[in-house]
Amino acid sequence: MKPDALKATCLDLTGAVETFPFTAETSVFKVGGKIFALSALDSDPLSVSLKCDPEIALQLRAAHRGITPGWHLNKRHWNTVLLDDSIPDDLVREMIEDSYDLIVAKLPRAEQLLLSWPGVRRADERGADGRGADER
């Protein structure tokens, strides 16, 4: 994945913005004020750090040499992905979307509704007891 495609993939997600809170060279992609991706888009080789479920993070690291514990981040919850064509673009896009979803899932329900996040509809379909209508 090239820098322009990485940036576009991140910004195509509803409510995503690019900020530069650390350095002018480090793009920080946020939703609801929370980080879901970081990358120095001018770096060579290009990489991106993404939030990840801890169990899945370990599986991805075991399966791909280009996926390592998050650089300068909580290594349990973040992966750094080397974008040198060893990781398929579809997998990178999926990891970006998963990172975004992990962040949005923790946002207040009102913000989730504003983002039209599908996960909030799934939660609404469950009753107060956590079961769907077909399970009651």
| Cβ 28 vs Cβ 110: under 8 Å | no
Question: Does the residue 119 lie in any domain?
Answer: no
Task: Count up the domains in the chain and report the number.
Answer: 1
pLDDT of residue 134: 44
Residue 110 lies in a domain: no
Mean pLDDT, contiguous 10-residue spans, the chain (136 residues): 96 96 96 96 95 95 94 90 93 97 92 86 51 45
Query: How far is the C-alpha of 20 from the C-alpha of 133, rounded, in Å?
Result: 45
Q: What is the CATH number of the domain that holds 67?
A: 3.90.1150.30
Boundaries of domain holding 16: 3-105
> Is 42 contained in some domain?
yes
pTM: 0.85
Determine, yes or no, domain membership for 22: yes
Query: What is the CB neighbour count within 10 angstroms for residue 123?
Result: 12
